[in-house]
Structure 1
Amino acid sequence: MICNRARVIVVGTLVLILLWLSSSSLLRLYYLLRMPFVWKASSADAIISQQHDDFDVTFADYDANYSTYATGIRPYIPRRIHHIHLGLNSPPKNWLDARAECLKHHEFWEAHLWTDDNADSFVQENYPHLYAMWTNYPFNVQRVDALRYMILQKYGGAVLDFDLACKRSLEPLRRFEFVAPAANPAGFSIGMMLATPNNPYVHALVDNLPVYNQVWPFLPYATVMFSTGCHYASTIFTLQSNRTSIRILAGPSDQPRMHMLNGVVNTPLFRHFGSSSWHGMMRD
């Protein structure tokens, strides 16, 4: 009797969800749910490697003074580093220390700090058609995530989470047009992204923000991840017809998680303090 009642509840819930969703919403949900299953095949040619890119993913070959210019490699990504902090609470000291470490390793890069004081006017002036949506996101982290894409599209450079303390310069990655670290078990992290200005893929991320702007009742994490977060960005990646210039930074075959930013980790590029920044922005 209990099992039958549970089945009725589950089936009834699914029917209500299907009735609530439009046909276009169902298609988006399909794309979002299939992402983990198609990611490996979709990203196979995007993974940076020694064989295909002549690039050492351990970064052991690149000293602190490495320059793309000096090695004769054309750099695509400008020397700009962006950090974002929106909300009422000030960044904790360890985040400020982490940003200071990144600025120390990028002293010749333009440094930009985006806060409520300048982010609002930036979106209003450069993306007026998205301004109302952006200001009305139910969670602050959605505003932060969407702002990442807008900043990258406009200015290019590197956008970093506040809780990433740099251990070295990101200079070697400037040879690519877009790069982000692999996530576990699928997709990539938007905690670190580097891109050229007006990058076609970043353009797609910005253009699809209204399309995927949907609140999932009683599912705050799904609302964030499916509308602006890593899952959203990874889904848009799988829908690109041309992914040749989009690069994913993973580790060598014997250490595929080398650059993953899941939890408190040390990678060749960063000390990551964990997911506290994400949870904090959910509350602001």
Structure 2
Amino acid sequence: MPLIGSSTSAAHFFTLPFRRKKQRYTINQPEETYNVIYLGNVLTVMARGENCYEKPLSLIWKAYCSRNRSDLAMQLEITRSGLKAETKQQGLTEYWAHRVTFSAAPPQYPKVFCWIYKHDGKRLKPELRCHAVLCKKSTEPAIIHHRLQDFLHAALQEYKREKLAAQNARLTGSAGCPRRKLLLQTGSLNFRPPVSRSRSAPRLGSIDEEQEDDEVSDTESVCYRAAPDRPSNGSYCGSDQSPNESLSGMNL
């Protein structure tokens, strides 16, 4: 019996350093998605503060309790760039991080999560709107609120860090960061949308081929060639008649 025990311990001793266990590391956590009911939105004046959501949220809740139509189901996704809300009627709506001014999980409404967002109104005039959703569990609003605040804070800090690095590189006159490091920088993209997805992006129009053909034909026509110098004061184009004959022919 001792021999058997010693042999098993020796085998375990010699094979232990060479064993490799598969380990998994999660670099980026998967984005959380919640099935909620969209309550609505109203205009508000205060962008942030302790009691900035009480009045607009009470109006939203009263309107939701008084209406008789069916609920609007929504999938609310928490991303590093803000919120993504998707419905069957309106499709996908993105709420970017730099426009989310406030979010809360009010204790007066256990299953309600609300946020204040700065929209572009008529003539691109900014307007504040308070949005609210109804979650399935009473613990979900607090989770959404804390998760969103962590993402917003991280995106803002990364955005400031990238802007400061770009400013220092410009002041020192260096060529800037390597391309590999630039590709890994995502703070500015998480905090602000890229130019291609913003409202100020240039619109590409179609090129009409007929216009190009007209320009080529105009340059090849006789009327656009330089006329030879003549002693007469009149000018004419593409005819062998004298100026007097051409003018007399025009007077019918």
Give the TM-score range, shorter chain: under 0.3
TM-score (norm 2): 0.23
**Structure (1 or 2) with the larger CA radius of gyration:** 2
Identify the structure with the greater strand proportion: 2
Q: Which has the higher helix share?
A: 1
Please report the TM-score for the alignment, with normalisation by the length of structure 1.
0.21
